[in-house]
Each structure stands twice: as C-alpha cells, then as structure tokens.
Amino acid sequence: MIGTQISRVDGAAKVTGGATYAADHSIPGLAHGYVVSSHIARGKILRLDATEALALPGVLRVFTHDNAPKLAPSPRGEIEDMAPEGVPFRCLRSARVLYSGQPLALVVAESLEQARQAASLVHIEYEGQAHATDLRGNLKRARKTKGEGAPSSHGHAERAWRRAAVQVETEFWMPVEHHNPMELFATTVVPDEDGGLTVYDKTQGVQNVQRYLCRVFKYPQDALRVLSPFVGGAFGSGLRPQYHVFLAVLAARELRRPVRVSLTSPQMFTFGYRPALWQRVALGASADGRLEAVIHEAVGETSRFEDYTEPAVDSSGLLYRCENVKLGYKLAKLDLYTPMDMRAPGAASGGYALECAMDELAFRLGIDPLELRIRNYAERDQVEGKPFGSKELRACYEQGAQRFGWWRRDPQPGSMREGPTQIGWGTATGIWEAMQEPASAKAVLRADGRLTVSAATADIGTGTYTAMTQIAADTLGLPPENVTFVLGDSSLPDAPVEGGSFTVSSVGSAVKAACENLRRKLLRRAQGSRDAGRLSGDRLIETMRRVT
C-alpha cells in the first residue's frame, strides 16, 4: 500500500460535511464569547467601561484585566512547547497594551449575535505611547541573535568576496505574510460534572495545548482533554496555543457552563505571522563560476517580549559548495505580536533571496543558471562537515532539464515569446531538513480482521489519515478499508505537533513499529513454527481468528 495512489480516507467526510471542526459542536447550554481587540499599538488602558454591554439582554459576563482570575504568578508557567525565547504574552493580565489587536476583553453572552453587539458597547480610553512597528525604520536598532538561533559561518567570506573576479550584491525586502486558513480559529470548552474539561480546539498539536492549559489553570493531565480531529488548514498558525483557547477555558471555568470563542477574519491578523525581513546576499565567484564567497545576512522583526528567529540564512551555508561563508541574523524588537513558523519557515524567504542572487551571478558570468548550480554542487554538509545521508538533487536537475527542454531556453532576459505573450523560464533550488521527532502509536486488531491505529498527531490537510492508513495496511498486509486511524485526541499515544514535514517520518515510524509488534505478538500466539513470519495478510487474519 505504501506508494500506492488511493482516495483520501477522510475525503468523504470533508466533502459531505461530516467532518466536525472546533466550532461545529452542538452543545446544550452553549454560551458564546466575542473578543474586544486593542486599536492602539502601545500604551495602557486608562478606563474600560462595560456598563452598556452588561445591560444588554443575554450578556453573562465581560472579562477584563480588572476582573479576570489571577492564575500562574509567573509568566514562566505559561510557556508552551513551541514558544521562542522570552516571556510569553499573558492575556487579560494588566492594563498594558503591547500591540495593535491585543485582546483586552471577552464578552460572553447566550448567543454570538448578543456577544458581538455587546462587544461594540465596551468603551475603552487609552493612553497611547510612541510605538515602532515598521522594520524599515528600525534596522539600526536590530541586535544579533544568540545561542541556538545563531547561524554558523566558516572561512573569511568578506575578504574572499572583495577579491573575487565576479561579484554580486543584492538586497531584498519581504513584507509580513499571514497564514489565514479557511477555518477560523475557535475553541469550544465543555465542563464535566467532575470538574474536568473537554476542549475542542483548532490546533496542530493537541498535547501541546493540553500541557499549556494544565500548567496555566492547574489541571491534572487526566482532567483536561483536547480534541481536534479535523483542521481546516493552519500552515503553522496552529503550532502554538492562541489566545482564544485561553479565553474560552477561562470563561467556561468561571461560568461553569460550555463556552465557545471564535475569532473573526480581522482578528486572524492579531497573532503569529511570517515576519517582515531585510536580506543582503553577496556572492563572489571565479571567472569559471566557482563560488568563492557566500554572504547572507538578514534582519527580522519580533515582539518586545519574545525573540522569534526566522532561519532565513541557514540554508545558504548548505546548498552550494563554498569555503568562505558568512551568515548573520539580527532581530528588531517592535510593538507587534511575536511572529511564528509559516510553511517552510526560513527556507521559503531565505531560499528566494539566495536563488535570485545566483541568477544574477549566472547572468554576470554568462553561464547558464542551471549549469552554475551544478558546478557548485555540494556533496557534503559544510556546517557539520559530514556527507549527506542521501541526496538526489543532481539527478533532479538532470531529469527536470530533460523533461522541460531546458536547453532550448534563450538566456537573454525578455527574449522568449509564445505568440504575443512574453514568457520566461527559470530554475531555483529549495532545501529542507529531514527531521524526526519522538512519537508513539497504538495498534489493536479485532477478531473480524479490522485494525485500529491511533496517535495524538494532527491532520491539517496534509493527508495524515491516509498516510498512516497506508503504512498500517502495508505492514500487516490488510486492505486499507479494514484500517481505521484515529488522531487529534490528547489522550492518545504521544506524538509531536504536526509541522516541519516530520509527521510521516516520526508518527509513521511509530505506526509501523506498533503494527510490527502486533504482528509478532499475534504470530507467537498462533504458532511457533519457523515459517510464521512469512504468513500473508489473508493467512494472518485467518490465523488470528483461530487464535481468538
């Protein structure tokens, strides 16, 4: 089954409306929360008046920094697994305003319409302070990153660049980019009779959210369960618990009833994003196109309270062979919320800058841009000084050029046309890590030959349900229709957040191992013969039936 094309196992539920997302649960007695956001970037609240809001029919409570329960005394108690260095933002903790869009109040009412109307009647007076939100105007204030976020350099790049026969120096500005998936962020919290909570959240990591909420609200792990079986896109925005889940749990605890908090489309712009970046790439080469210097420097924005580092320059020390590489990254602290990972963080933005510079160098040299990349092909990881475990990039270049008819390309910019349309042919290289994280899975085979495999991972639209079904079916020799994979539940076996392209390699390996253990256990019970390990899938099911 691995490598075989099959229909997505979750496809029917999604196209027929059977998939249930965080805001879809019909709960008796459900109240609705609506967030009131800041309209200034920096300052403090002088006065917050919710009198008119509370006078409306159906309004249950307006939570503010003045009346919200005091929880963890230290912000360190609110750090979660995906948090960068620094102090996490603490919702409804003080009158300080740290960024535009900051949640300042939560209005809870019997219906969403009542909550939204009441939120419009919450009056806030501010004392605004001078703020800085523009990266262009604050480059000189940027400071170097330290420790784990500091990129690695080697050789004498600046000197080699000045001495190079051919030089290219380029500068790039990249704006902020927001994730904004189709499903808006929402959380539905349901208290139970024993004081525990069931939390339906939009997230890429149910166990990360569970651990965060247990730390903040002092719940034992078995008293708080987070569910997220379907995610309508996330692209990295669901790696960290967002403020809506904190507010929903806070309100449900205080009101002792189910509460849902859903963000609006404008409020989707009030948390993590891919940061704005300034980048400088300088390349030096010999006359025959051998790289002699690679310099890649960047400045990214971050919040005042956390140091998020976009790894934009790191791949420039890996992708091409060069003895002199200088990489640098600085942070400009601004009055914004903390950026966060978004779809190949660093690789997308940094790769764009490096590859544009390589094209400029190829034009200066008069060398085909694909040929330039092949001449500087790296056989070893220059940062670690080790050979790559596997690398098929050269074959990819050759195969792509052949299929595309690359050598018919006219190298003169603006020279190629298809009828009246001007066209261009280009090439670029991307790079990403082959990561693997600790993960576990559980496999249960029933007497009727149906297999259930489970892990607390996520499916953000990337096909986790289907991939894990294929791996399990392949390992035990079962048809995929006999396999059910369960995910998105914090009570399931431990799994990492879904991100970084490591889900299949991590959770998939755990699924394979669980199914192999199940197979061995079953065969040991079935018979002790030497050929037990060679049973086919059909014989395995029949053997299991006899055993049970």
Q: Which residue ranges of the chain lie beneath pLDDT 50?
A: 547-548
State which amino acid sits at residue 91: C
Q: Compute the distance between CA of residue 454 and CA of residue 458 in angstroms, rounded to an integer.
A: 11
Query: Residue length, the chain?
Result: 548
Q: Is residue 494 classed exposed, middle or buried when 0-12, 13-18 and 19+ CB atoms within 10 A define those classes?
A: middle
CA dihedral 377, 379, 383, 386 (to 10 degrees): 180
Which residues are CB-neighbours of 358 under 8 A, at least 6 positions away?
A: 283, 320, 369, 372, 373
Which pLDDT does position 314 carry in this prediction?
Answer: 93
Q: Compute the distance between CA of residue 37 and CA of residue 268 in angstroms, rounded to an integer.
A: 11
For 187, phi then psi, to 5°, come to -140, 135
- Per-residue buried b or exposed e for 460-479, using 16+ beta carbons within 10 Å of the residue's own CB: bbbbbbbbbbbbbbbbbbbe
- Report yes or no: 243 and 253 within 8 Å, Cβ to Cβ: no
| Strand ranges in 237-309 using DSSP code E only, listed in sequence order | 259-262, 277-285, 291-302, 306-307
At 395, list the tokens.
Answer: 């074959």
Angle at 259 between CA 254 and CA 264, to 5 degrees: 120
Which pLDDT does position 548 carry in this prediction?
Answer: 44
At 329, list the tokens.
Answer: 């990254």
Which residues are CB-neighbours of 88 under 8 A, at least 6 positions away?
A: 75, 78, 79, 80, 305, 306
Which residues are CB-neighbours of 525 under 8 A, at least 6 positions away?
A: 547
Residue 454 DSSP one-character state: E
Angle at 20 between CA 14 and CA 26, to 5 degrees: 145
- Report yes or no: 174 and 430 within 8 Å, Cβ to Cβ: no
Q: Compute the distance between CA of residue 288 and CA of residue 286 in angstroms, rounded to an integer.
A: 5
Place of tokens 């990591």: 205
Which pLDDT does position 537 carry in this prediction?
Answer: 61
Q: Compute the distance between CA of residue 516 and CA of residue 501 in angstroms, rounded to an integer.
A: 24
- Report yes or no: 63 and 105 within 8 Å, Cβ to Cβ: yes
Report if pTM > 0.85: yes
Beta-bridge partner residues of 105: 36
At 448, list the tokens.
Answer: 């009727």
Place of tokens 């200088």: 326
Which pLDDT does position 535 carry in this prediction?
Answer: 56
Domains and CATH numbers, the chain: 11-129+179-269 (3.90.1170.50), 136-178+273-382 (3.30.365.10), 442-547 (3.30.365.10)
* Residue 481, number of CB atoms within 10 A of its CB: 11
Residue 481 DSSP one-character state: G
- What is the rounded radius of gyration, in angstroms, for the C-alpha atoms of the chain? 27
Q: Is residue 541 classed exposed, middle or buried when 0-12, 13-18 and 19+ CB atoms within 10 A define those classes?
A: buried
Give the H or E element holding residue 445. Answer: strand 442-445
DSSP 399-443: HHHHHHTGGG---STT--EETTEE-------------------EE
Q: Which of 499, 544, 502 is nearest to 519 (CA)?
A: 544
- Report yes or no: 223 and 301 within 8 Å, Cβ to Cβ: no
Q: Compute the distance between CA of residue 305 and CA of residue 426 in angstroms, rounded to an integer.
A: 41
